[in-house]
Amino acid sequence: MKVNLVLFFLFVFFCSLFGENRYGIKSIENLIQKNFNVLQNVNLSAQGSIINTYEEQLVQQWVSDNWMSTQRNTTTIDTTKWFMTVLAELNHPQLGWTNMSKIEYQFKILDETFGFVQMKMYNFSESEWKLQGQIDYTYDSNDFVIQVDVQYDFGIGLMPYSKVIFSNNSAGLPLTEIVENFNFATSTLENDSKITYTYNDTNPKDLVTEKESYWNSTQWVDTLQTVYTRNSELLPLTKTDQLFTNSTTLENLYRYEYTYDGSGFNVTEENSKYWDNNTNNWIESTKEIYTYTLTEEVNSILSQQYFNNNWSDVWRTTNYYGVDDNITKEFTETYTGTLWMNQSQILYSYTPTNVGDKEIKVNNFTLSNNYPNPFNPTTTIYYELATGGFVTLKVYDILGNEISTLVNKFQPAGNYKTWFEGKNSSNKQLASGTYLYRLQSNGNAITKKMILLR
């Protein structure tokens, strides 16, 4: 399979199933797709000045008439090694910005595009990055992808999780895609699903149908078929999903219709319908309407739903761009039926920023889950006081016997943290087990559990 630009992004989406969020995917699109023509020339000096080698996305939600920062995604690209890192952080009310996940992409230049070589997915745990999964790509002599191997760590190190095997046509596009998943009972990779692709007889790049099948232990059983019609640019005009009710009979499910502007590239409307077996007709369901800037960047998306023979607005997204056509803000609103309400926004920056003044601010009496949990030998406990007062934070065994006092004093309102070292009030180490910790102040009390593992 030749990894052209479209399949490149399909593989990114595939990898997102193993931990990446949608904003990380959009990083690749923003950083690479727009500059793709330059990249084809393999001119590193030109690429270094045009590619955004750094992009930061600050995700914010509208809460109580204020924008609250909830997630930050940072993408960096090393064009000398064709190595990319996407880092995702969450903004915790008590902890501030904390690492969540990281994905490392290694790719290479092919004849006309990029090809993935390897992806590594990490989770942040116990103050360090831990490798959670890895995807490796195998190419044939034509630089067509013929195999994708996925490994995952279930607690004992990386082990096989799944394998995707491709056969390809002369254009490098897949004819078959067979997925094998790991069977823990037999410790082997076994057939799971298959997609069979058919193309126009006169154009090996014109995909006509996709047929999905599953393995029932003895043979492939067809389940779903997707049929396409396309415009002169080979972009879809219609996409119809059909269900196999038996080996030879198909039943309509969903249909998607696409309208383009004069260029044939930019979608102006995407209309989805579902099949009504009672009337044997396609029924309107939802649609999205797109507008573009003069430089053909997406300016706005309006989503509507069909109800009671009328189209009703649901949500809309408006994009803002800088003079260099780099997106600077993605602003989303929802419609209440009478007015538009702020929902979320993503702020883009191409140089490192300080977002400390945009962190979540709360003022509650709260006790957070200890971290790490389970722990050995030390864990951290965070808590917040809405008002000042005398505070106690004590540890008890599962029978309610007091084990240790961590806090016993007056404290003003604010955020605090303390540590429990797995010892009793006599400084003796405790045995493994479940313990309780209880915060009390001004007549309020919260109790939570923690587990000590020696």
Q: How does pLDDT run across 263-276, given as a tens digit for each residue?
A: 899 999 999 999 99
SS (H, E, C) 168-197: ECCCCCEEEEEEEEEECCCCEEEEEEEEEE
Which of 330, 357, 384 terminates a domain? The answer is 357
What six digits make up the tokens of 318?
A: 């408006």
Contact 52, 28 (CB under 8 A): no
Residue 424 to residue 420: CA distance in whole angstroms: 10
Is residue 408 domain-shared with residue 438, that is, in the same domain?
A: yes
Is residue 225 domain-shared with residue 246, that is, in the same domain?
A: yes
Mean pLDDT of 360-374: 71
Is residue 52 domain-shared with residue 159, that is, in the same domain?
A: yes
Contact 188, 174 (CB under 8 A): no
Sorted by sequence, the CB contacts under 8 Å of residue 70 that are 6+ apart come out as: 59, 60, 61, 90, 91, 360
Check whether 12 has a pLDDT greater than 50.
Answer: no
Check whether 422 has a pLDDT greater than 50.
Answer: yes
What's residue 22's pLDDT?
32
Which of 331, 357, 383 terminates a domain? The answer is 357
Residue 208 to residue 199: CA distance in whole angstroms: 5
More confident of the two residues 39 and 98: 98
Domains identified in the chain, total number: 2
Q: Helix, strand, or coil here: 39?
A: helix
Residue 433 to residue 415: CA distance in whole angstroms: 28
What's the CATH code of the domain at 200? 2.40.128.720
Residue spans of beta strands (DSSP E) within 322-397: 327-335, 340-349, 366-367, 379-385, 389-397
Is residue 265 domain-shared with residue 373, that is, in the same domain?
A: no
> Do strands 145-153 and 66-78 pair parallel, antiparallel, or not at all (unpaired)?
unpaired
Is residue 118 domain-shared with residue 229, that is, in the same domain?
A: yes
What six digits make up the tokens of 24?
A: 């990380």
Percentage of the chain lying above the pLDDT 70 cut: 85
Which of 333, 357, 381 terminates a domain? The answer is 357
Phi, psi of 48, rounded to the nearest 5 degrees = -60, -25
Please, what is the average pLDDT of the chain? 83
Is residue 350 domain-shared with residue 387, that is, in the same domain?
A: no
Is residue 323 domain-shared with residue 385, that is, in the same domain?
A: no
Is residue 395 domain-shared with residue 263, that is, in the same domain?
A: no
Check whether 27 has a pLDDT greater than 60.
Answer: no
More confident of the two residues 434 and 161: 161
Is residue 192 domain-shared with residue 285, that is, in the same domain?
A: yes
Q: How does pLDDT run across 335-352, given as a tens digit for each residue?
A: 988 889 999 999 999 887
What six digits make up the tokens of 250?
A: 């198909």
What's the CATH code of the domain at 414? 2.60.40.4070
Sorted by sequence, the CB contacts under 8 Å of residue 78 that are 6+ apart come out as: 53, 84
Domain housing 49:
5-357
Sorted by sequence, the CB contacts under 8 Å of residue 99 that are 6+ apart come out as: 87, 88, 89, 124, 129
Residue 186 to residue 172: CA distance in whole angstroms: 34
Is residue 374 domain-shared with residue 340, that is, in the same domain?
A: no
Is residue 201 domain-shared with residue 126, that is, in the same domain?
A: yes
- Please name the helix (run of DSSP H) or strand (run of DSSP E) that holds residue 38, with its range, or none: helix 36-40
Q: How does pLDDT run across 99-146, given as a tens digit for each residue?
A: 999 999 998 887 667 788 999 999 988 789 999 999 999 999 988 999
Is residue 219 domain-shared with residue 109, that is, in the same domain?
A: yes
